[in-house]
Amino acid sequence: MKSSLRIANGETVDIDVDDCNYITKVRTRSGEVIGSIQFRFIEFPSGEVLKMTHAFLDELGPRYLDQGIGTECVRLMREATGLPIIASPDDGSVKPDGSHLTGRAPAFVEKLIAKGLISEA
């Protein structure tokens, strides 16, 4: 699934949602890579979920941060897969499942939890 998003700074970015490999990739209109958000499929006895494992949207610097891109990536992945999304809080270490949210990602996760878009793992 591909989507375009007009962001807060007035630019339009392209979001490619790969719902088979559970990754959203974000590029500028000219094709420059802004970053991606990666998820991992997990099956629990209570049901299936996606866990956010890596999130970075600063490949081109901070210009694309705090523009609503990450939130849209999560929303689109939920829409494409129909699965709930979870994330672990950052404790500075790589989790046994490989997830590692550092930098600005922990604050991003807190915002998404507050908005009800994801749940804490």
Fold classification of 2-120 (topology level): Aminopeptidase (3.40.630)
16 pLDDT exceeds 90? yes
Q: What are phi and psi of 15, to 5 degrees?
A: -115, 125
The residues spanned by each domain of the chain are: 2-120
Residue 111 one-letter amino acid:
K
Count of beta carbons in the 10 Å neighbourhood of residue 67: 19
When the pLDDT of each residue in the chain is averaged and rounded to a whole number, the result is 91
48-58 pLDDT, tens digit per residue, is 999 999 899 99
What does the pLDDT look like over 102-119, one tens digit per residue? 778 888 888 999 999 999
Q: Which amino acid is at 61?
A: G
Whether 17 has a pLDDT exceeding 80, the answer reads: yes
Q: Would you say 50 and 38 are in contact if contact means Cβ atoms under 8 Å apart?
A: no
In this prediction, residue 94 has a pLDDT band, given cuts at 50, 70 and 90, of confident
Burial class (CB in 10 A: 0-12, 13-18, 19+), 55: buried
Q: Residue 4 has which token pair?
A: 């375009």
Query: What pLDDT score does 59 carry?
Result: 94
Contact 24/18 with Cβ under 8 angstroms? yes
β-partners of residue 12 are 6
Q: What pTM, to 2 d.p., does this model score? A: 0.91
